[in-house]
Structure 1
């Protein structure tokens, strides 16, 4: 990688923090967007420049002055039945793409998600040509799909846009999936779905950061790339391994998939009928994300980006165990 100046949205988030470490360790300059004093302090502490702004309210173009590339990692991660995830992810992508184009940035990587393909049915070894469903599992999926569409539409002769779709990001400094799983087990709310033996792709955050660097260098303009750790494990093995690093053993109890699907659909209906006042035990978006096989084919990333995972499963688990000692 040649030296570059990367503007980063979502810089204080889980992926953003790791991207700052990855890019600065490679000798690149990073400017992170911060909405609060707390975020600004965190970003600066990681070695990045800080600019203050809100991507949904402010004109970001002047803040991008001096940057040559951009990584859009900011996202509303809400998997509930509300509509905020759709609105904020779509509007955020529109604002970032417009600002980046006005600022004259040359390349842009958008962190998308396998969720753009989720409709509640299994996704088995899907490649980038798999059709986006007409009806998504929920607002998060539809919002990320619309944001990806907006990002790729902004691709031009002067600004190359590349989208990466990771699945189930895990690893060091995780403030998303692992803490949620641990809290569910500790509160007695965790149960496997039909035993949890279906396959599940996952992506160590270090592998995602590696893929971002490759996409900035080698990514073909206007293209989407699936990113994962390679061969999939069962959802049960994946979750059990992650929880074990925290000294937590999940229970054996299991809920039949058809029952959970029915409860998720009913819960979303209850939310709509009550005007958002009532909700079920889980949303259909949460069901679609965790209840069926989702495995990604990463052949395209290997061939065009030169991507190969740099952090293995056991290595990643050992790092989590070491941090929990």
Structure 2
């Protein structure tokens, strides 16, 4: 493997999900430090996005083993950020994208003799078990995860870690909690839409603690995992000490010029409404997705905190982007 950033030599890196929030920031950072980047794209629009960020587009998707193999040929490293990130959808699609798609990425990396694969996982894989409070890497997945996203992301991570050492491939997982920051095309737009429609409520008052991870810190963790991550290991990433959920969200909305609503909804009432809504959407021919879901309540309506001490000790992870600097960047 050609040496990476920390020894001053460039790498050739293949990225999935390159047109997404994390992918764009990752490509721009890799390019800025002198690496060569290729990115998998499913559309002309995605191709233009990754090209603008600094990557060479490779047409195809996670179903296309040949496109994956072609894109990875001659690469030193692969970063797998692509996933079906939804709270609701068909079991078939979740498994096809998150589990089978990840397996195809692993298989292609092995076939292309790539040396290291970093997979972007999530703390959401623990939803359905005990409260996610100060979760660390010793935690095991619950027997019955709550929802298809936690289930399939957990299975995907399992596939990645199991492949460590096969055909010389080193596999590492990073698990950022609540990714946010400038250029967010995921979390913030959903919140803004909810505010615009007058549907936003603070569940249980919103005074619970949460861990967060700015997109710049996610990228920092990915790059360190490429260089220093131990094969077959996972690493939580965060911005540091937890913060009150309501205070954080209020500041984030304020950074884009939106005043946070005041409306609240008791947790018990919200959970009952979520159960009723999920049931209705399962048995009736209703379009879209339920307005309230238990999976979302567990991630946003109660404490979710992670312990990133392992990443700090083993990778030298710092999380250089402070929340204050992240908000300032959003305002710029």
The partner residue of 1:249 within 241, 253, 259 is: 259
Q: Does 1:103 align with 2:103?
A: no
Matches within 5 A, 1:106-117: 106-117=115-126
CA spacing shift, 1:81–1:268, aligned 2, 3 Å = farther
Name the SS of the counterpart of 2:133 in structure 1: strand
Aligned equivalents of 2:90, 2:161: Cα separation in 1 = 26
Aligned equivalents of 1:272, 1:236: Cα separation in 2 = 31
Structure 2 counterpart of 1:22: 29
Alignment TM-score, normalising by the size of structure 1:
0.95
Q: Does 1:151 align with 2:140?
A: no
Matches within 5 A, 1:273-312: 273-274=283-284, 280-312=290-322
Moved more, 46-55 or 94-103: 46-55
Name the SS of the counterpart of 2:64 in structure 1: coil
1:246-290 CA-partner distances (Å, limit 9, x unpaired): 111122111111111122122222222236658532122222221
Name the SS of the counterpart of 1:296 in structure 2: coil
The partner residue of 2:63 within 56, 60, 72 is: 56
Give the length in aligned residue pairs: 322
Superposition CA RMSD, Å: 1.5
- In structure 2, stretches of 5+ residues that fail to align are none
Structure 1 counterpart of 2:133: 124
Name the SS of the counterpart of 1:195 in structure 2: coil
Aligned equivalents of 1:149, 1:70: Cα separation in 2 = 17
Alignment TM-score, normalising by the size of structure 2:
0.93
Name the SS of the counterpart of 1:51 in structure 2: strand
The partner residue of 2:52 within 45, 48, 56 is: 45
Aligned equivalents of 1:82, 1:199: Cα separation in 2 = 32
Structure 1 counterpart of 2:204: 194
The partner residue of 1:223 within 233, 237, 248 is: 233
Moved more, 37-46 or 224-233: 37-46
Query: Does the CA contact (< 8 Å) of 1:191 and 1:253 recur in 2?
Result: yes
